[in-house]
Amino acid sequence: MSSKKKTIGIIVCVIALLALFSSPIIARADTVKLNNGLNVFYKTSGIGYIPIVFVHGYSLSATTWDKVLGIMPVQYRSYAIDLRGFGDSGNPDTGYTYNQMADDIAQFLDAMKIKKAILVGHSMGGMILQHFAVLHPDRILALVLTNTFARNVEPKGMSESVQKRIDGYGSKEDNRKVFTKSMPYYFDASNLAPGDLERFVEVGLKASNNALKDLLKQIYAAPPIPAEKFNAIKVPTLLVIATHDPFGTMKQATGINDGIQDSRIIVISHSGHSPMWERPAVWVKGVLNFFEHEGLK
């Protein structure tokens, strides 16, 4: 082979490698059975050695992370899971508590043979991860909590309106009415494409009634994590909040920031409760800057 052909071959290989490591890879969607018998559905992207597990919020699923998985650099190995009772994961009658769902995530790490991972949670998913950080601190490389609520303070408590929503769950059509009313609060409408809200209403309809009812009670009435345990969380933590979040999570993020010593806050403008879907490129840029700061790249 001539030196010219060798040079061309090397250039082609370099270009191919550059394309590989600059483009996302959606590898597969799959289901794994945990040691506790729960079947967990997950999506994965990337081929790298730094694992990230993405955890969705209330009445949602791994679908909320689709745009993020599509643009995450391939040096990360990203997993977006459906929590028990949601999406395409198993829906047992019981187990819808923060601690049990944190243990599910630990068992998912075991099933994937992951010792430590970056854990990323949205809304209720971030609440579960605060419990995970207390129960399994040695399994975390870093935490990213997006528009979540502080578990080191007393929740709002059950109200008539919350109980009315719980009582409203029942048949598929009953649930469709609930989600048609509630889902617009999850997003800033200016950031949505036609059909997005309907898509997430359908996502909500996959959730089991046990999950929907029991976890709403957790969100509004579960006792907080004791201060001595919460303040012992030492992992690097990024708190992502959005300017147009109707749930007022700036105050909540400040509460978490006060409790976790190694934590910082970033703000995403022009976004509602779900910036990873509404402004995915901006969300990913902020998170990657945090990873770089922590040497996780």
Categorize the per-residue pLDDT at 25 as very low, low, confident or very high, splitting at 50, 70 and 90: low
User: Which has more confidence, 81 or 19?
Assistant: 81
pLDDT of residue 248: 75
Query: Minimal CA–CA distance to 26: which of 79, 87, 64, 102?
Result: 79
User: Which has more confidence, 24 or 185?
Assistant: 185
pLDDT of residue 24: 52
User: Which has more confidence, 246 or 24?
Assistant: 246
pLDDT of residue 33: 99
User: Which has more confidence, 40 or 13?
Assistant: 40
Residue 194 and residue 259: Cα distance in Å, rounded?
40
Question: If you average pLDDT over residues 61-88, what whole number do you get?
Answer: 97
Instruction: Write out the CATH class of domain 24-293.
Output: alpha beta
- DSSP conformational letter for 97: S
Contact 56, 122 (CB under 8 A): yes
Categorize the per-residue pLDDT at 17 as very low, low, confident or very high, splitting at 50, 70 and 90: very low
User: Which has more confidence, 183 or 23?
Assistant: 183
pTM: 0.91
Categorize the per-residue pLDDT at 11 as very low, low, confident or very high, splitting at 50, 70 and 90: very low
Question: If you average pLDDT over residues 140-164, what whole number do you get?
Answer: 96
Categorize the per-residue pLDDT at 1 as very low, low, confident or very high, splitting at 50, 70 and 90: low
Q: What are phi and psi of 206, to 5 degrees?
A: -80, -15
Domain ranges of the chain: 24-293
pLDDT tens across 202-255, in order?
Answer: 999 999 999 999 999 999 999 999 999 999 999 999 999 999 999 977 889 999
Query: Minimal CA–CA distance to 188: which of 196, 180, 198?
Result: 196
User: Which has more confidence, 252 or 98?
Assistant: 98
Q: What are phi and psi of 45, to 5 degrees?
A: -145, 160
User: Which has more confidence, 20 or 197?
Assistant: 197
pLDDT of residue 27: 55
Question: If you average pLDDT over residues 49-55, what whole number do you get?
Answer: 98
Take residue 250 and report the two structure tokens written for it: 């700036």
Residue 297 and residue 293: Cα distance in Å, rounded?
9
Percent pLDDT > 70 in the chain is: 91
Instruction: Please tell me whether residue 83 adopts helix, strand or coil conformation.
Output: coil
Q: What are phi and psi of 153, to 5 degrees?
A: -130, 160
